[in-house]
Structure 1
Amino acid sequence: MKYSHACSLLALACSTSVCAESYVIGVERLDFAPHYSIDKQGQYQGFAREVFDLFAATTGVELSYKIMPVDQLLPALLDGAVDFKYPDSDTWSKEQKVGATLSYSRGIVDYVDGVLVAPQRQGQPIDQLKRLALVNGWTPWGYQERIDAKQIQLSYSDDLRQMIRLALKKDTDGAYFNVVVATHYLDNIRARPGALVFDANLPHSRGSFHLSTLKHAQFLQRFDRFLIEQQSQIAALKDKYQVEANLDSQYMGMEQWKVDSLKRRQQKDASGG
């Protein structure tokens, strides 16, 4: 009787909107600024957090974030320990996803992964790339044939800091990573702007970060509508965090002050000044 009475009270409370929908997003314990990172208090922060918080604020859904090691995140999604995984893509970890029917949101933010090199190496042919630095778990798309042929030797690091250090010390010829994240690290954390630059002449890949789920496909339909309806606010967040900075221009991977300087010079030349 007591159990039945408790259930009735809970149902009544939820029917009067006291109980909100509540979901858990599994996120990476990774310093991947400006996209996302974990602050000193252990809180998830960055562009992704603001997008999800905006969705929660506009829909009344309650979202919480479960911060996990990268290699534990997909198993947690498949086991039901979390409701969603971010970031994700239908092209990632295909072997681990065999037999699982996952649903994916629209692309939330675009990215480019590629090789950053010392400025004096920029524009050199791929034959000159003999040693490539990587973070553990990353796949250097476009380079596998040369790796298999022993034409490129890989040097793995535990994190971005170690990988960048290898490239700066010239222990490798370049570093393969997310271009925006690596540039942000060099500009704002390592304080070595321009020490490594993206080489668009070398193979690189483009994609988008998505939110994925095993059980909540209808939720993703609502989230997709939110992405469309709140385009202007999300664009403002992208501009605030510079997560898509110059992805479709010749300035990709260049520190922002230099981009601004070059644009001012071009405007001056165009006006005949």
Structure 2
Amino acid sequence: MAIFRRLIWCLLVAVVAPAGAATVRICVQNIDYYPHYDFSKLPGRGYAADLFALFTAKTGVKITLLPLPVKRLQDNPECQLVYPDNPQWHSAKGEQQPLYFSQSFTGIIGSTVVRRGEGHIELSAIRAIAVPRGFTPDHLLAVQQNYSFNLVEVSDATAALQMLLKKRVDAADVEWHVAKYLINKLGQPDALEIGRLLPLASVGFHLSSRDHGELLRRFDLFLLQYQSEVAQLKARYQLQTVEQLKINIVEPQSPAPSDQ
């Protein structure tokens, strides 16, 4: 057993050890999605920015970040790696070209948030949901045809939450950690909660690459070797899973047919 552990350690050292002047270029979304990340300005801030800095500190591999619009991240020859990405986003488009993925760095909770005290409102009672421009709410689109709610596109997540607080919509499609951060900035930290009977998506954030699977394996081994430090980063930014929040992902049922 001791020999096996030593072999594993040697493998980790070989792959994760400092690599001198080696540099990795990661293309990232040029948006503010704090606390997960904010790469609207470099060097960036939030969990992902700190995680990349930790990777460099522990491995010696330098990272160059290239912020780009979401639509320019894929199939871009300038990008060795892309963050964030998820296999589901590609399979939903029917893409056939092989793509490599790292292990998940963290997970998001694509929640439908409501005003405090309305956490058990049913989807049949929802008439309008605010959606930030540029985000595709697949978990809402999948059930929209069976219900009568409208998706109201707004400029960003802050605008979506403000519409909800002003009762201009019944809910807002905003990732839960992002919603908590923004609602604190608005000075109303206890004004919202997750709609526990409304559509919710739990999605992992990965690195991806078309051609650099070996770089992703290096990140995977880094996550394994420094899992304690990674956990501390998640705790610093208060990133939680649906299990930690004790939330069940509920599949909305089709409404009962009317007697009329």
In which range does the TM-score fall when normalised by the shorter chain?
A: 0.7 to 0.9
Unaligned runs of 5+ in 1: 1-16, 253-273
- Residue 60 of structure 1 deviates from its aligned partner by 1.5
Q: Is the 8 A contact 2:109 2:242 kept in 1?
A: no
Q: Is the 8 A contact 1:110 1:206 kept in 2?
A: yes
The match for 2:116 among 115, 119, 139 is 119
| Counterpart residue type for residue 49 of structure 1 | A
1:84-121 Cα shifts (integer Å, max 9, x gaps): 11111001144667243210000111221111101232
What is the TM-score when the length of structure 2 is the normalising length? 0.81
Query: Does the residue aligned with 1:48 lie in a helix, a strand or coil?
Result: helix
| Counterpart residue type for residue 115 of structure 1 | T
1:49-77 Cα shifts (integer Å, max 9, x gaps): 11111111221111111111223222xxx
- Residue 36 of structure 1 deviates from its aligned partner by 0.9
Query: Does the residue aligned with 2:66 lie in a helix, a strand or coil?
Result: strand
Q: In the comparison of the two structures, how many residue pairs are matched?
A: 231
Larger Rg belongs to: 1
**TM superposition outliers: structure 1 runs of 4+ over 3 Å:** 93-97
Give the root-mean-square deviation of aligned CA atoms.
Answer: 2.4
The match for 1:139 among 129, 136, 140 is 136
**Is 2:61 the counterpart of 1:61?**
yes
The match for 1:209 among 195, 205, 209 is 205
- Residue 225 of structure 1 deviates from its aligned partner by 0.8
What is the TM-score when the length of structure 1 is the normalising length? 0.77
Cα–Cα, structure 1 residues 202 and 214, in superposed 2: closer, same or farther, change >3 Å? Answer: same
Q: Is the 8 A contact 2:19 2:60 kept in 1?
A: no
Aligned counterparts, 1:1-273, within 5 A: 20-38=21-39, 42-74=42-74, 78-94=75-91, 98-149=95-146, 151-187=148-184, 189-244=185-240, 248-250=244-246
Query: Does the residue aligned with 2:72 lie in a helix, a strand or coil?
Result: helix
Query: Does the residue aligned with 2:169 lie in a helix, a strand or coil?
Result: coil
Cα–Cα, structure 1 residues 243 and 65, in superposed 2: closer, same or farther, change >3 Å? Answer: same
**Whose helix proportion is higher, 1 or 2?**
1
**Aligned equivalents of 2:79 and 2:142: distance in 1?**
36
- Residue 246 of structure 1 deviates from its aligned partner by 7.1
**Aligned equivalents of 1:18 and 1:89: distance in 2?**
27
1:154-179 Cα shifts (integer Å, max 9, x gaps): 00112111111221121111001211
